[in-house]
Structure 1
């Protein structure tokens, strides 16, 4: 059903007490800066971000398809090493939202399912398995098109790069908001490895490891794995057990073959599996007690709903206890993902030829108890599988005064949906035999989407003067897509669990073709070492799309849902500066941006005979603007303070949803997942206590301002501002590291998703983030 509204929101004020001491320390470094000594050997590399001079060396990224110091790249980037991510507890794509500013990542359907990623206010607030968002996800340069394939475990990574703003030239379709690159650790020329084990509350355990080394003079290999288990932080009173836990494993194998100095062949294969009870939402009744029996339920206030003072359509009260559910479903969430990426790099002279070939298969079955109650109000089975193949071939050259890259790209994907819902099947239990006749229903959808995309691209940089460089790039994309709708519905007739014959809702095929040219124009100015100023004009493109959710039994609404939405286009203006000064003691980066969107793709909930449904539509015009600010300071030896701040203002300038007769005009509303202020603060202190012993202290805090749910800005699904804080201490003794950690130190109570089901079911469904968690770990390197 309409799950797009399950996003990072809840009602009621969350804790907003700012850790002011850290803010002051990070933003006002003090007089000690001029006395900073170089970082000590063994010091932990700070987690973030755009800064290029951190710890012992510079951050090297491949955001522009070549290796560069991050401070030389005229793009707003936050880069994180794999080691830093591990220490911060960032173990899935959804966790990136807590350490990257102007970025929100939520799991509308819980862990193990597709993430909803928003960068600078640009995202896609829907959980249909066929709708790729406008922020591209890449693993080892392979684009993951199927949304459900993006919920992978993050383990044994070299780094993660978060690119903000359109990346339409080098990355292409579906990057109108940005892109995230996950780069896995590669085979090494010497033997090495590690084993890492952790245990925490809720019987949570993780064991991961890797081994890497040469197999011959020309061949090396790496094998890595992770195994997660947790009983979970929700308590299911109906099943008398904990839920919202983990039970999954992932494996990766890499081979690197270097037969000659100028030829490298890398093959990376992976497989992962999830098999556990799915996450569940809370169940908050939203009708005033005593009003349901009258036949005209009265909707509770927002405050009363979230205070568990109301009932649902079955007149059942809410459980006032936090993290308490009562789901009766026992089927398991099952996800299988496997794939392979092959990369061939040949460098004859100054030219480098690179081929990246990838294949990925993903299959998911999610038995969602949408109402999280013992009674059948709304239950949805989400089933899908996808096969994706991509091929990229590019050539690049780097010289003293210029560099360029050019290439071609192809993508083919076939995605199948097998999904059904059942609503109000137990209504006769509460309102008498036959009460559900003509009302209770089941729908079955069997859909197929086929996508073929082609592109040719190029980008170059040329030194106009010793300090001024011109950047020009372009990409032409052509896309063909078809979507087969096959949907049937049946209604209760003759009492509970008796139904009419299946009636056809839709049996049709829709097609679309899109072509677009994206470009980048920029000027880079480097007046002195350690300073880069830049200005860019870029465009982005996201291809047309189809609504892969359930169809309304109303013929007019169903016809509207089957129409493809037009491509969205963005023009972005950005100016920025990247600086490193005071003998690398301070790194300060800032960027101002303005995004002008036309035909932005949105999903909005509208009333229907079977409850709220998703409708895909185009907002004629939208805009976002704001700033990304990054400061890293090393005031004294072994101490690193960092602060990232995101400022954001968003607006739907013109959005008239003609298919919604209740509130058709959403013009002026704020975009979803768009807090006006977001921050990430971190302090790290390395204390050597011997030749090979040290203590590392780490503290971090994340702030997210108030966020609206979707284009409706619904007050029943609005997440108020909140802070979360994490802490970690580690003792290193030679190759052994012992650690202890606390996450969500203040036990902040906030939702990562919420769905307004008041009409007709009488409840709101928040999906709450984990409470305070803590544990210990041990890691040995060899």
Structure 2
């Protein structure tokens, strides 16, 4: 299959090149005499390939959102821009974290390992393993971000593990030498069906002498929730409070040496979930669209603290860069699992009642508590050659060590302390799961140029991962044992395991420059996600899950075009790809406990495109869209699937956004108006025909956002915005765990933010 597609790729290149040449020739008849861009904005400079280059020069699909773009969207978190990025989809675990899928690379809504790598500047954020809940991507606040880069497709050679589907890089605004400036921002809004939101944000840049500068920013946010619990009479469920700040120091004594130190911390606290209860059969609400009924509270807290230091020195023949970081990630989540465990736990308890005279255990309520702490140290050292357009190269070394302590308790909340009644001595489930992860990797790429016509990048990375895992668990489903002369109904079971694995990843990226502004490229790239030791239960429990699970790997075959036409009035990019995904990692629930397994293989094919059209001075139209077909190519018994061809969850077949922005002057006041229409197609949660990963259809939905703003000569900005103008009740994601027991149980569905109107007041002072 790979050979067949590689042949098709070459044929497509041969076909597309003359066609693109014709369009380029028509648009650039005077290419030898460059003309000034008409009504164009400066091209965003990105660091996707570990060097500074224009976004239109990167040989792959890349969405770059500048600070101006984020402010125009009034985007404060990932959810505010995600639907406008082609090929990007997500599931909201809670208001503080998301599971992110790019190009359909997601096996289930319950997977524990991340398939998208997350970066803050050059620092990888989050746990690399399933035991640290690596799939739960942290929601960074976007205030004072220089840009966000979303890289579609595997980035295994430069970004290493967990970049199967792609990578998202949050790039902060750096300190600026010789500049005194400040920015203050106040935001207030109201959400239909909910309440009011508010935020205060500030940043200051201070020079200290000629070669030192500091930048300090902070933010406090409150977002109201729109969930309504009709059983307990609670409103504003899903509300979240965020506090964060960042301190950066830049020291640059000359043109060769640059030292940048950074300290960042953010804490997000949420109360409940933004969900409504929906019918499994027809995807309609059980009662009101935002109504839910839970037995217990579901708080969540996530926090990240990062210290990093980046040193770069120009050696002449290359720039040496060292990036050192320490971080601590903490996640605390409580979820109401009364329905699922309210069936399973009483079944086990009834057996012990019959044989040992233990008391009966009620069907409700049960709360699952997960408390995870990960400490992570990383070191990257690399050499980067100058950009000479002859031979350019990058070579480096990467080291990562992580320790994760994960506490998992299933609480019987009918009891004051969460424990089962005597003679039980513990919770229905108790688990202490410590683990260590170490990764050592070497990587490099070389780009060779044939004049200004053709260049090709070849990259490789070898990564070796070692893991040690232990568990101390007690579960009512484990058979009683004789202990201290008596019968222990909930004995503690201890287990330890290690694993050691090595993985190669590759990149082949040819680029043909049809003209100065038009490029056709091909890309063959690979990525992986680490395997590791498994969560093994006693043999008496009847589990046949192996003691280790393997890395899953992915190959991506891609062809694309990037170009600017008609004196840069039109920018148009398009690409097509074919992905082969093997040994897919997922979770398998065995008698109430999730275990890590490899499920089979999948194939994902798609097309992505985006454009910017500048019609007249100040008026521009934008658009982006993707078509994704993601299906299993083998049976997946662990998912309850005996046949191939089942659709992968989360990703829509189609998604697109179109928008218009108009900038104009009124006297000395600069004004702007924008509107964006985003359409997200039908998606799935689970798989059709699976009794364990139950299928739910998430209908397509449409949202319209609009804003009007003005900037005075004094630097004061005022903008008015509306999100979800027509109050679409978009269904973002769903969890069907309970429906493995019965299709009649309601499905908790995470909903898009209802109609929200707000005002932002921003003041910029100083600067150059």
Structure 1 position 277, deviation (Å):
2.1
Cα deviation 1:518-564 (Å, max 9, x = unaligned):
1112221113110111112222222114567xx8899455452x633
Structure 1 position 232, deviation (Å):
2.0
**Correspondence 1:701 to 2:677:** yes
Q: Would the aligned equivalents of 2:455 and 2:510 in 1 still touch at CA under 8 Å?
A: yes
Structure 1 position 124, deviation (Å):
5.3
Structure 1 position 589, deviation (Å):
0.7
Instruction: Indicate the residue corresponding to 1:563 in structure 2.
Output: 547
Structure 1 position 105, deviation (Å):
2.0
- Structure 2 unaligned residues grouped into runs of 5+: 1-26, 30-34, 128-133, 343-362, 479-486
Mapped partners of 1:598, 1:411: distance in 2: 25
Q: Would the aligned equivalents of 1:368 and 1:379 in 2 still touch at CA under 8 Å?
A: yes
Cα deviation 1:127-177 (Å, max 9, x = unaligned):
57xx43121111111111323562332221000111111111111111121
Q: 1:126 to 1:766 in 2, by over 3 A?
A: closer
Structure 1 position 609, deviation (Å):
4.2
63, 81, 85: which is aligned to 2:70?
85
711, 716, 720: which is aligned to 1:740?
720
306, 317, 321: which is aligned to 2:284?
306
Mapped partners of 1:553, 1:376: distance in 2: 27
Mapped partners of 2:38, 2:567: distance in 1: 11
Higher relative contact order, chain-length normalized (CA < 8 Å, sep 6+): 1
Q: 1:97 to 1:655 in 2, by over 3 A?
A: farther
Instruction: Indicate the residue corresponding to 1:166 in structure 2.
Output: 154
**Correspondence 1:729 to 2:708:** yes
Q: Would the aligned equivalents of 2:305 and 2:328 in 1 still touch at CA under 8 Å?
A: yes
Mapped partners of 1:702, 1:564: distance in 2: 42
Mapped partners of 2:747, 2:489: distance in 1: 30
What TM-score, normalized by structure 2, do the two folds share?
0.83
Structure 1 position 503, deviation (Å):
2.1
294, 299, 318: which is aligned to 1:351?
318
Three-state SS of the structure 2 residue aligned to 1:381 is: strand
Three-state SS of the structure 2 residue aligned to 1:84 is: helix
Instruction: Indicate the residue corresponding to 1:277 in structure 2.
Output: 271
Cα deviation 1:52-89 (Å, max 9, x = unaligned):
xxx43111110000000111111110100123123313
Q: 1:264 to 1:575 in 2, by over 3 A?
A: same
Structure 1 position 664, deviation (Å):
4.1
Mapped partners of 2:493, 2:726: distance in 1: 50
Q: Would the aligned equivalents of 2:583 and 2:601 in 1 still touch at CA under 8 Å?
A: yes
Mapped partners of 1:625, 1:350: distance in 2: 41
Instruction: Indicate the residue corresponding to 2:189 in structure 1.
Output: 200
Cα deviation 1:290-339 (Å, max 9, x = unaligned):
xxxxxxxxxxx713x7342xxxxxxxxxxx12323344545743333211
144, 149, 167: which is aligned to 1:156?
144
Instruction: Indicate the residue corresponding to 2:503 in structure 1.
Output: 516
Structure 1 position 92, deviation (Å):
2.1
Cα deviation 1:628-670 (Å, max 9, x = unaligned):
111110011111101111011111001332x56xx34252111
Q: 1:558 to 1:566 in 2, by over 3 A?
A: same
User: Matches of residues 31-430 of structure 1 in structure 2 within 5 Å?
Assistant: 55-108=40-93, 110-113=94-97, 115-123=98-106, 125-126=108-109, 131-146=112-127, 147=134, 148=136, 150-189=138-177, 190-201=179-190, 202-237=195-230, 238=232, 240-279=234-273, 281-283=275-277, 302-303=281-282, 306-308=284-286, 320-327=287-294, 329=296, 332-370=299-337, 376-398=364-386, 399-422=388-411
- Of 632-641 and 531-540, deviating more is 531-540
Mapped partners of 2:756, 2:762: distance in 1: 19
**Correspondence 1:543 to 2:530:** yes
Q: Would the aligned equivalents of 1:220 and 1:256 in 2 still touch at CA under 8 Å?
A: yes
Three-state SS of the structure 1 residue aligned to 2:68 is: helix
Structure 1 position 425, deviation (Å):
5.5
Three-state SS of the structure 1 residue aligned to 2:597 is: strand
Q: 1:487 to 1:715 in 2, by over 3 A?
A: closer
Structure 1 position 686, deviation (Å):
0.8
**Correspondence 1:751 to 2:731:** yes
Instruction: Indicate the residue corresponding to 2:14 in structure 1.
Output: none
Three-state SS of the structure 1 residue aligned to 2:69 is: helix
User: Matches of residues 489-638 of structure 1 in structure 2 within 5 Å?
Assistant: 489-490=475-476, 503-504=490-491, 506-545=493-532, 555-556=540-541, 558=543, 560=545, 563-603=547-587, 606=589, 609-610=591-592, 614-638=594-618
Three-state SS of the structure 2 residue aligned to 1:264 is: strand
Structure 1 position 510, deviation (Å):
2.2
Mapped partners of 2:109, 2:92: distance in 1: 11
Q: Would the aligned equivalents of 2:467 and 2:533 in 1 still touch at CA under 8 Å?
A: no
**Correspondence 1:473 to 2:459:** yes
Structure 1 position 507, deviation (Å):
1.7
Q: 1:112 to 1:125 in 2, by over 3 A?
A: same
Mapped partners of 2:52, 2:311: distance in 1: 16
> Size of the alignment, in residue pairs?
681
Three-state SS of the structure 2 residue aligned to 1:169 is: helix
Cα deviation 1:337-382 (Å, max 9, x = unaligned):
2111111010132410000111110222222234699993442111
Q: 1:417 to 1:674 in 2, by over 3 A?
A: same
Q: Would the aligned equivalents of 1:235 and 1:325 in 2 still touch at CA under 8 Å?
A: yes
